[in-house]
Chain A
C-alpha cells in the first residue's frame, strides 16, 4: 500500500495568515493527489485534484502543488471559514489512501 503522511498534524494560525500543509507519499504517485476539507459533523469537500487543479467553486486562495512524493496545500490568506481539518488522498494505486489529517485551528 502507498502510505500518505501529512505534516503538521495540527496547526494554529490567525485570520489573514498564509498557511502551508505538506503531504508525503511513500512512493511516487506522479500528480495523483487530492486535497479535501472537512468541518465538524460534515462530509468532506474536494478542494484540489490532480495535485494542482482547483475544484469548481473553491476560492482561489486555495492552491496545490507538487509531484512525485512531495505535495503542498497552501491557503494564501486564511478566512474564518477555513478553520477545519484537511486531508490529502492519493489515487495512483486503486487503493486510494488518505493522509491522517491536519487540523487547522484559530490562534
Chain B
C-alpha cells in the first residue's frame, strides 16, 4: 500500500528555520516525482514545486523559488520542505504529493500525505 506520512504540526516564531518531512512507502521512492502543495487557511491549493528523488532534479513555482528548499534523501525514502526564515504568511497546511505519469505526458497527483500544519506566530 502506497503511503506518504508527514511529520507533525509545528508552531514557530517569525525568523526561525524549519524543515518538515514526508516519508514514502509501498512504492519505488526513486521512480516518482514528489512535490509540495500549500493551502493557507480557508484558501485554495497552491503547487510549490517537485523533486525527482532518483536524481534530485528539482523544479519550483516562481512564487516559491528562493522562499523554500525542496530536497530528498532516497536512502530513507523521505522528502523535505524547509525554510531558513519563517514569516507569519507561511502559516498554512502543507501537503506532500506523489506525481504519477498516468496518461501520456500528463502528470497527476495520485497520493497525498496527511498534511503538516505550520503556524508562525510571535
Contact = CB atoms under 8 A, between A and B. Distances in A.
A99 B114 CA distance: 21
The dominant DSSP class at the B interface is: strand
Nearest to B4: A43
B88 interface: no
Interface stretch (B9-17, B24-32, B72-80, B98-106): B98-106
A91 interface: yes
A46 B109 CA distance: 7
Looking at chain A's contact residues, the main secondary structure is loop
A87 B35 CA distance: 17
B108 A49 contact: yes
Contacts of A33: 106
A1 interface: yes
Q: How many of chain B's residues touch chain A, expressed as a range?
A: 20 to 34
Contacts, number: 75
Interface string A21-51: 0000000000111101010000111100111
Given A34-B108, A44-B109, 14 more contacts: A31-B103, A32-B107, A38-B45, A43-B115, A44-B112, A45-B112, A49-B102, A49-B108, A53-B103, A91-B108, A96-B99, A98-B37, A98-B45, A98-B47
Most buried by A among B61, B99, B109, B114: B109
B109 A97 contact: no
A43 B95 contact: yes
A49 B106 contact: yes
21 contacts: A1-B61, A32-B106, A34-B106, A34-B109, A38-B45, A46-B108, A49-B108, A50-B102, A50-B103, A50-B106, A53-B102, A53-B103, A85-B44, A87-B44, A89-B108, A91-B107, A91-B108, A95-B59, A96-B47, A100-B44, A101-B45
Contacts of A87: 44-45
Contacts of B44: 85, 87, 98-101
The 3 closest A-B pairs by CB, nearest first: A50-B103, A43-B112, A49-B108
